[in-house]
Amino acid sequence: MAKIDKAIKDIHTADNTSERNNSVHPVSWLLVTIIYIIAVVSFQKYNIAGLAGMVLYILIQCMWHEISIKDMIKRIWPVFLLTVLVGIANPLFDRTVSAGVLSMATLILKGIFCVTASYILFTHMGIRQICYALRILHFPKELVTILLLMHRYLIVLLKELERMQLAYKLRAPGQRGLHFKTWGSFVGLLLLRSIDRAGEVYDSMQLRGFNGTFQVFPERYNTVRSVAYAAVWCIAILALRIFPVFEMMEAAIWRILNLGV
Amino acid sequence: MADIELRGVNFSYQKGRQVLHDINISVEHGKTIGLIGANGAGKSTLLKLLVGLITDYEGIIEVLGQPVEKKNLSDIRKKTGYVFQDSDSQLFMSTVYEDVAFGPRNYGYSEEIVQKKVMEALCKVHIENLKDRQIYRMSGGQKKLASIATILSMEPEIVLFDEPTIALDPKNRRNLIGILNSMPETKIIASHDLDMILDTCEETVLLSEGRIVCQGKTKDILKNKELLEKHDMELPLCMQDRRTNE
Ligand SMILES: Nc1ncnc2c1ncn2[C@@H]1O[C@H](COP(=O)(O)OP(=O)(O)OP(=O)(O)O)[C@@H](O)[C@H]1O
Ligand SMILES: [Mg+2]
């Protein structure tokens, strides 16, 4: 109950804080994130030292925008877990076990970096701004509308879940969680109710002139800052991609050690 | 010319189960019409037809001179506000301000004008103080007033209310009646709250099982005990004999 309540609140808070204090244009944010993700994904599967350098982007963003790393981990650990699960079978399928371990680590890191970068994006932009930026970047209107509606649907689903859970609990006092026999009907009903409700919400949006486009006000953004933000980060990310900083540091350390020997 | 015109309207959600039968209503500009009837009489359905949430009806429906059909819907909806029976379906943004601004923003007004319209709408229903509140954390009555504000901010010519006094406490209900009476728009108010209908509507349509059984001056209909009871309703409280325990 409290968890659902908190989840809904979190979604709303993210939407609000992010829409207010932001002078950088959403397109800049989105572009930087996309380029970062492409750069991360493009590393070879054994190039873990090079990939590790990409962590700098995340650290700097977190420090700069005062994003609590602890909070972040608390919120997205299930996704981390998922990437670990996906990677874990890797050692069995690779050429050798040690190569497999290496590629597993790379895969897991890639997953974590991508998720974290998206998280940072979402802490800074509401869903409306992201959709707006996607439209400017010529993503298909239908796709963007679906994204926006899915976000709305998530809230509707959580609210409906909260209501049904309350009704259930009140009539099954002392019972911990749902009885497994009711799972089927509970989930089925939840889906039906939330779909109905989502339909009504969509009606309400349409009645108020929604036609799949997003009104965000460009005059609010500072052009110079937006361009500078995108330019600086793109160059930095490319630099991290081309010059594997940690690898270079490692090489330097080896060289010094070798010299010492 | 009437703002709202229904002629010979029939409608069914599923084949074989007709929900509305031969509905004829005409609402003149600036008039307020009450729509009463027991649960399931078809009030909400009738209102939904007027804004084109349902379009496959038989007969003629015209709103502001335009037939309600797909190609006119955006025009009609711009000028017709619909306050949902359930506020949770109406409100979907995170804060009151954002929700009330949703309509005007969609119609492309600049942020300055949007802000003006939002504040005016909030003032009309006296909830300026709730402007930045998270909708998710508001009471049922507050949500109802916010829903009404989301419609008023679009400055419609016609407003359709579905059970507007549901979830309101006596003070807010009074307050809403005052607001309804001060609104110059053409209105249709569907409700079970007959006292409110009596206070706000000059004319009333009584629906029963999807048929209009009576249409005329509100006072005449609402004091007709026999008629009301025949159609599963009761006299408004203010017209019932007051019994005391003495
Ligand atoms: N989506 C739907 N699909 C099928 N039947 C429906 C649907 N919505 C309503 N009905 C049926 O249509 C009839 C009229 O419903 P409607 O909601 O218009 O009644 P109402 O007068 O608004 O009732 P209430 O006072 O309870 O709000 C009812 O018999 C109802 O069961
Ligand atoms: Mg109804």
pLDDT in tens, A188-221: 888 888 888 888 888 999 999 887 766 665 557 7
In this complex, how many residue pairs, one in chain A and one in chain B, have their CB atoms less than 8 Å apart? 65
pLDDT in tens, B100-139: 999 998 888 888 999 999 999 999 989 999 998 888 888 8
- The predicted structure's pLDDT at residue B244: 45
C-alpha pair distances (Å), A186 with each of A130, A194, A200, B31, B88: 33, 12, 21, 46, 21
**pLDDT grade for A222, boundaries at 50, 70 and 90:** confident
Output the pTM of the full model. Answer: 0.78
pLDDT in tens, B201-227: 999 999 999 999 999 999 999 999 999
pLDDT in tens, B135-165: 888 888 899 999 999 999 999 999 999 999 9
More confident residue, B34 or A98: B34
pLDDT in tens, A92-115: 777 777 888 888 888 888 988 999
Query: Where does chain A have alpha helices with state H?
Result: 2-20, 26-41, 48-52, 55-64, 69-88, 90-93, 97-124, 127-136, 141-171, 183-207, 223-242, 245-260
Nearest CA in chain A to B110: A217
Nearest CA in chain B to A197: B89
Is the pLDDT assigned to residue B195 strictly greater than 90? yes
CB contact under 8 A, B107 and A209: yes
**pLDDT grade for A1, boundaries at 50, 70 and 90:** low
Nearest CA distance, A72 vs chain B (angstrom): 22
For residue B216, what are the β-bridge partners? B204
B45 lines ligand 1 (CB under 6 A): yes
- The predicted structure's pLDDT at residue B200: 95
CB contact under 8 A, A215 and B108: yes
What is the domain extent for residue A67?
A: 21-139+220-248
Contacts of B50 in chain A (CB under 8 A): none
- The predicted structure's pLDDT at residue B246: 42
Helix (H, G, I), strand (E, B) or coil at A90: helix
Residues around ligand 2, an ion, CB closer than 5 A: B 44, 85
**pLDDT grade for B26, boundaries at 50, 70 and 90:** very high
> pLDDT above 70 covers what percent of chain B?
98
Nearest CA distance, B146 vs chain A (angstrom): 14
Contacts of A18 in chain B (CB under 8 A): none
**What is the average per-residue pLDDT within A233-261?**
82
B135 lines ligand 1 (CB under 6 A): no
Nearest CA in chain B to A200: B89
Is the pLDDT assigned to residue B241 strictly greater than 80? no
Token digits of residue B115: 């802000």
Which amino acid is present at B1?
M
Is the pLDDT assigned to residue A19 strictly greater than 70? no
Is the pLDDT assigned to residue A91 strictly greater than 80? no
Is the pLDDT assigned to residue A128 strictly greater than 60? yes
CB contact under 8 A, B111 and A12: no
Is the pLDDT assigned to residue B83 strictly greater than 50? yes
B43 lines ligand 1 (CB under 6 A): yes
Query: Where exactly are the structural domains of chain B?
Result: 4-91+155-245
Q: What's the whole-number average pLDDT of chain B?
A: 91
Domain covering B4-91+155-245, topology: Rossmann fold (3.40.50)
More confident residue, A253 or A238: A238
Q: What's the whole-number average pLDDT of chain A?
A: 83
More confident residue, B237 or A215: B237
- The predicted structure's pLDDT at residue A217: 58
- The predicted structure's pLDDT at residue A139: 86
More confident residue, B236 or B190: B190
- The predicted structure's pLDDT at residue A219: 57
**pLDDT grade for A73, boundaries at 50, 70 and 90:** confident
More confident residue, A10 or B154: B154
A211, part of any domain: no
> pLDDT above 70 covers what percent of chain A?
92
Token digits of residue B84: 């949902």
Q: Are B135 and B78 in contact (CB under 8 A)?
A: no
**What is the average per-residue pLDDT within B1-19?**
92
- The predicted structure's pLDDT at residue B210: 94
Q: In what order do the strands lie in the sheet with B17-27?
A: B17-27, B4-14, B58-63, B66-67
- The predicted structure's pLDDT at residue A9: 76
Short-list A120, A122, A119, A141, CA closest to A130: A122
Which amino acid is present at B16?
G
**What is the average per-residue pLDDT within A25-36?**
91
Q: How many other CB atoms sit within 10 Å of the CB of residue B146?
A: 26
Is the pLDDT assigned to residue A261 strictly greater than 60? no
Is the pLDDT assigned to residue A155 strictly greater than 90? no
- The predicted structure's pLDDT at residue B29: 94
- Overall number of domains in chain A: 1
